[in-house]
């Protein structure tokens, strides 16, 4: 039997509507503690955008190299924050406030 959190994650992924002008180029799932995070990468004319559980982090990467560097630091932050018990919503809000 699936856990409730697994079903919620599947619904996040299934209900994700790619914004107009964006094309999904990659999907990734990461598990941090008890929380699974769906990461969706989209490409648009401005560059590559990242969505965490369907929430835009409001940062666009110019190319694959800048995306790789940015995602390494984001994944480290996700790991650290999950160890402290901080939710994905709080993380996205923190990222978006800083921009």
Per-residue pLDDT reduced to its tens digit, 82-98: 788 877 777 777 766 65
Name which of 37, 42, 47 is nearest 91 in CA terms: 37
> CA distances (Å), 40 to each of 19, 57, 65, 76, 96, in order?
12, 11, 17, 17, 17
Q: What is the pTM of this model?
A: 0.72
CA distance 1 to 14: 19
Domain ranges of the chain: 4-98
- pLDDT per position as a tens digit, 1-45: 777 766 766 665 566 777 889 898 988 888 877 778 888 899 999
Neighbours of 42 (CB within 10 A): 20
- Per-residue pLDDT for 75 more than 60? yes
Task: Report pLDDT for 48.
Answer: 92
């Amino acid at each position: 039997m699936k856990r409730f959190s697994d079903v919620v994650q599947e619904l996040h992924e299934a209900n994700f509507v790619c914004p107009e002008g964006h094309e999904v180029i990659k999907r990734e799932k990461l598990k941090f503690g008890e929380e699974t995070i769906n990461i969706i990468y989209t490409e648009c004319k401005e560059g590559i955008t990242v969505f965490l559980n369907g929430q835009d982090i409001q940062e666009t990467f110019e190319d694959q190299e800048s995306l790789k560097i940015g995602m390494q630091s984001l994944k480290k932050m996700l790991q650290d924050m999950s160890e402290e018990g901080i939710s994905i919503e709080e993380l996205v809000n923190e990222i978006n406030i800083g921009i």
